[in-house]
Structure 1
């Protein structure tokens, strides 16, 4: 049974059975791949040149970022777009889905009246901007998970888990961290590990401040610096956001739960190195306050 509840101005909780969720994902994926053959080309709000991208973004997010329901903080527009995709295919054939399932999903969403769940009459500009920011960060999260797909850390865990933890740690440790620092926390290893360049980030419309933070925390193989010298250089000359991101990166790397998966001697060596680096970065942050 599909349930949608509004939790914030721009977000809601989306819940349904796993079978329903997989069917919805298949419908959205089909819509993304066959966009111009559907009425979505006319029904999605916004400039026409952006409409297909919205469906493609939703499909990527559903495949790479959202696990099984409930999805606790689904953006309002994503809920609306899921509704549009499912309703659009009521009565039509979608490969790999029983038509009765499509009809059942469409009827549930129709009965829910998802547009009525969200009353926007009293939403302020500041609240809309916060919602838009969270949507942009979620898009970065999805892309980063896709870029790191198949990579593992020293303990054999999916590398994207580390990246998402660093991002959450920046949010928790530095509540006033700006949007550039938050994007950079998600992107902090893409230049080093994912064959992504600064120009690639520009093409994805990231700001120069975001790119400078990512560059500052990226190890250069030919800089001639030792690890300790690199940390000192970052603390002395790096953007404040880069110091915040690197500190949270090191805090996650030095987590005892992660280190215990390594050989004892290796874990002890890394722990000592990370501890020294953390103190250097903390000193810089204390001086900045």
Structure 2
């Protein structure tokens, strides 16, 4: 198989063609990652808000190791508002930046108690005004705690939609709006999970597993990583490596202009 990279010309691809390609890729992501979900453990909107704040510059796995005892110790917003700073810092220290995060959690608890009777609001405009909660965190809360569709633009999401030439925006808010115009609103939350899963398991930052990715026929960046299937399979990560590898045909076509498969013969 050729390792040559062929790129899609974003200038010549029409908006309609880009939308169709993006939606086709989104459907394929659902096949590739049927297990996609929010990887932060939580049972209430407050727990998700806290876990998401702790996840900044920290892995979800590490956060999930810390939160059981944290949630048991501070079950309400008022508990965070009244928390002893030293004790709270000690509990969340493994997540990093614990002093800033402690400050955010105490202020969040205070704001929720004073403004919303201790409850996490279910509206974006209200969420982004709360301490420690930016637009990305707000969309995580809305989509996963309240079922309100939202696009979460984290590092993986921004990197992949750029590679796929869904948008050339680099600002997270502009990326969110650009992708939202391509994908139906009802699919926003799950799309976010699936793109993030793909970024963690297949389309890695430095060396994507191009030869083990079924998005290849639609991907203008095919060839950034090894296109040889055996070599690419070794790069796959996560608990479903065997399933991901099984999805890929031995001969993977190369993406050509406007997402049309080239070189498949």
| Normalised TM-score (structure 1) | 0.29
Of Structure 1 and Structure 2, which has the larger fraction of its residues in helix? 1
State the structure with more CA Rg.
1
| Normalised TM-score (structure 2) | 0.30
Greater RCO, 1 or 2 (C-alpha within 8 Å, sep 6+):
2
